[in-house]
Structures are given as C-alpha cells and as structure tokens.
Structure 1
Amino acid sequence: MHTKVSLINDLKKLDINSKGTLLVHSSFKSIGEVEGGPDTVLDSLSTYMKEGLLVLPTHTWEYIDKDNPVFDVLQSPSNVGMLTERFRKRESVYRSEHPTHSVAALGKDAKEFTEGEYKHDTPCARGSVWGKLLDRSAQILLIGVDLTKNTFIHGVEEWVNTPGRIKDTHVDLYSVLYSGEKVRVPSRRHAGSSSSDHYWKVEEILLEEGAMRKGAFGDAIVRLLDAEKTALLLSELLVKNPDLFTRNEPLSDKWRYYFQNQRK
C-alpha cells in the first residue's frame, strides 16, 4: 500500500523542481491502493511543492456551454477527475475564473497566477495561466494518463494559430467571480473533433528530444514534461505541419531526421 511518505519519495526520484511550478493531470485509480485515499495523494503533492506552485486543472468545458452558460468559481464542479475536484475545495487554494478551462493553484503566487482569467476569450490564451506555465518554465506531470490529456498542448496549438482549432465566432458565457459579480465572457470555443485525441503521436519525439521523461508514482506510469522544451518543439512541428494533430496516424520519420539534423 502506498503512503504519503512513499509517494513523496516517488516525486523525489522524478527530480521535480520543488521550488518551481508543477501542473498535474491525473488518474487516481492508476496510482493503486493508497493509505488515506485521494487526500493522501493531494497531501503528498502539496507537501512536496510547499515552496513552489502546485497547479491542477479544474475544467468545466464538458457542461458549460450556450445552453448552460454560467460558471461559478466557488460552486461549479471540475469535470476532469476526482483529485481535481477535491483539490479546488482545499484551504488556501485559488481557482481561476475562466468559464471552461479553469485551474486551481496552491502555493507561491497562487492568487496572482490565477487572477483575471475571465478576460480571455479563448480556452488557452497566451496571456492566460496556460501561457504563464511557459513563462515560469513549469513542469507538467501526467499521472497515469497520456499526452491526450495534456491541456498545455492545446495552448501551443492556439499560440501558433493552428488553423481550425478555435472557432471564429463567440458564444456568450458568464463567470461568477469570487466577489460574487457575474461577468459576461464572450468565448471562442475549441472547434470540430478534438485534436487532443491525436497528441499521442508526438510521445517518441518528445522523449528523444529530452522534452519528456517517464517514471512512476505509486503504481502509475507518469510522464514528466518540460513546458519550454515541449512548446518549442511542438511549435516548430505545427508551423511546418499545421495538420500534425488532424490525422490519427504515427508521426513520420522525416520529423525525427529533421530534428537530428538540426542538432548537427
């Protein structure tokens, strides 16, 4: 059975920067049997990152839409897993006020990190928390989930203006802020079928180029990404091949050869 101590030791083995910024996407079930359950998992992450900033997604895109347009930062549940829902309710955690792609943060600069998100009209704007992860040289920890669950890649697609990823028209959504004020948030949503279903195809090249490495957390296989290296590599791929995540097929070897030649 895994404990808080053993899980913290797993984080140490991953050599995560405990004073930096860590975004965590997670599957609680993948971790295995944990003494104390989900709260122990959150305790281990929070303790390890006590001198840094711990960030978990608390998205609501699954049910906040034109037919149900009001997001409440205090009340709207996260639709991306048990750990995220428990985390947002914890003491000293600040949640961002974006209607569909909020995050919850604990630790250094958490309030400043999450402020003003309702001002962005797209899910992962460069000036949003997703862009701040890049600015802060964050690490991204995927616990028991693969790259298809990595929202940061949506951000990279958005920042390089990948065609067809964001709708041209706005839908009126609303955010109820911590202050109780209800503000209108005209929002351009993700368009068409989800490109994230195809993010798996860049796993090997991220590993080869040193943007990602694998390890363990409890029973879970984890992927640890460097936000800067990931953004740089994927931006280059997407600029040269905007259809990169359009097709559900393996990445061509020509891209591996391209990056190998770039290093020479």
Structure 2
Amino acid sequence: MYTKQDLLDHLKELGIDENGTLLVHSSMKSIGEVEGGADTVLDALIEYMKNGLLVFPTHTWSYIKSENPRFDVMDSPSCVGLLTELFRKRPGVIRSWHPTHSVAALGKGASDFVAGNEQFDTPCARGSSWGKLLDHKASILLIGVDLRRCTYIHGVEEWLDIPGRLTDEHEMLYTILPDNTEISVPQRRHIGHTSEKYGRVEDVFLHNDAMYKGHFGDATVRVCDTEKMTDLLTHLLKEDPELFS
C-alpha cells in the first residue's frame, strides 16, 4: 500500500517541475492501493505543486449537448475520472466556464489560467487554457492512461485547422456561472474518434524526448513536454493531415 510520501517521492523521481504548470490526466484504479485512497493522491499532487500550478480536466462533453445544454460551473460533474471530480471540489480550486471542455486549476496564476474559456466556440482554442499550457511550457502527466486521453493533441489539431475535426455548425449551449447568471456559449463539436489514433505518435514522442515514461504507484505514467509535442505534431500534421484519420 502506497503512502503520500511514497507518491511524493515518485513525483520527484519523475522530475516534474514543482514550480511549473502540470496538467494531469488520470486513472485512479491504475495507481493501486493508496493509504487514504483518492484524497491522498490529490494531497500528494497538491503538496508537490504548492509553488506551481496544478491543472485537471473537468470535461462534461459526454452529457452536455443540445438535449441537455446547460453546464453548471459549480455542480456539473466531470466525466473524466474520479480524481478530476474530487479535485474540482477542493478548497481554492477554480473551474473554467467552458461548457464541454472545462479545466480546474489550483495555485500560481490559477484565475488567469482558467479565465475566458467561455469566449471561444471550439473545445480547445489557442487562446483557451489548452493553449495557455503551451504558453506556460507545461508538462502533461498521464497517470495510467495513454495518449488517447491527451486532450492537448486535440488542441494542436484545432490550431493547425486540420480538416474534418470540428462540426461546421454550432450547437447552442449555456453556462450557469457561480452567481447563477446564465450565458450562451455556442459550440462547434469534435467529430469522430481521432483520439483513438493518437498512439501512432508515441514512439516519435519517445525518440525525440517529447515524452518519457516512469511510474506513480503501480501506474505506468507518461510525462509530456508541451513545447516539444507541439513542434513534432506541427511537423507531422503538416506533412500528413490525415495522420489520425
């Protein structure tokens, strides 16, 4: 059974920049038995990143859609895992206002990081938190999940305007703000299941030092460098826009 100290040691061994920005995609089950369960995992990540910025996706794309168009910033649950749902409820955590691809952040510059996502009509716009990851030269930690769960790659596809990734038409969605004000946030949606093909670039990432592997508890983890990933993906997708088709 892993303790919080074990997990802190694993993060240090992984070489995560404790003063930087870290986005975490996660499978709690993959970590194995932890004393105190999921809350201890969050305690370890929060303590390790106390001088930096810790970010989790808190997506709602699976159920916020035309037939259920209202995203409540305070109450709509995350659809991408236990840790994300527990994290968004932690004291001091701030959630962005995007109706389908929100993030939650804690730490240095969290308010600025999540601000303005509701101004964009796509899931991962360059000016949104997904683009700010690149501005921050962030790391992405994939705990027990692979590149198929790396939303950031969707962002790079958007920024390069890869054909066939987004609907042409908008779906009218709404965000209910913390003060119960409701705003309209029309959205173009992702098309298809291109993320299931993101594993095609795993070896390229590994061989070019855009990603390396390690462990966190029992989980195999991938640590990704957003700058290097973006450079490689830009080159690959300009050569072959159908790479993930």
Q: TM-score, length-normalised on structure 2?
A: 0.99
Q: Deviations over 1:181-229 (max 9, x none)?
A: 10000100001x2100000110000000010000000000000000000
Following superposition, the deviation at residue 116 of structure 1 comes to 1.7
Deviations 1:101-151 (A, max 9, x none): 001000001111111211110000000000000000000000000000000
Whether 2:155 is the aligned partner of 1:155: answer yes
- Residue type of the alignment partner of 2:108: K
Aligned equivalents of 1:175 and 1:120: distance in 2? 13
Partner secondary structure for residue 153 of structure 1: helix
Structure 2: how far apart are the matches of 1:109 and 1:50? Answer: 12
Deviations 1:164-195 (A, max 9, x none): 0011110100001123210000100001x210
Amino acid at match of 2:88: R
Name 2:5's counterpart in structure 1. Answer: 5
**What residue in structure 2 maps to residue 39 of structure 1?**
39
Amino acid in structure 2 at the alignment position of 1:92: G
The percentage of counterpart residues that share the same residue type is 60
Q: Which has the larger radius of gyration?
A: 1
SS at match of 2:241: coil
Alpha-carbon RMSD across the aligned residues, in angstroms, is 0.5
Question: Which residue is equivalent to 1:115?
Answer: 115
1:235 aligns with 2:234: yes
What residue is the counterpart of 1:218 in the other structure? 217
Secondary structure at the aligned position of 1:172 is classed as: coil
Shift in Å at residue 60 of structure 1?
0.1
Q: Where does 1:31-180 land on structure 2 (aligned, <5 Å)?
A: 31-180=31-180
1:30 is aligned to: 30
Question: What is the deviation of 1:157?
Answer: 0.4
Q: Name the residue aligned to 2:244.
A: 245
Q: Equivalent residue of 1:133, what SS? A: helix
Provide the C-alpha distance between the structure 2 equivalents of 1:186 and 1:38, rounded to a whole number of angstroms: 35
In 2, the alpha carbon distance for the partners of 1:176 and 1:160 equals 31
Matching residue of 1:203: 202
Gaps of 5+ in 2: none
**4+ residue runs over 6 A deviation:** none
* Alignment partner of 1:18 is 2:18: yes
Q: Secondary structure at the match of 1:2?
A: coil
Distance 1:131 1:221 in 2: 26
Please give the secondary structure, in 2, of the residue aligned with 1:186.
coil
Aligned length: 245
Which amino acid in 2 is paired with 1:223? R
What's the secondary structure of 2:63's corresponding residue? coil
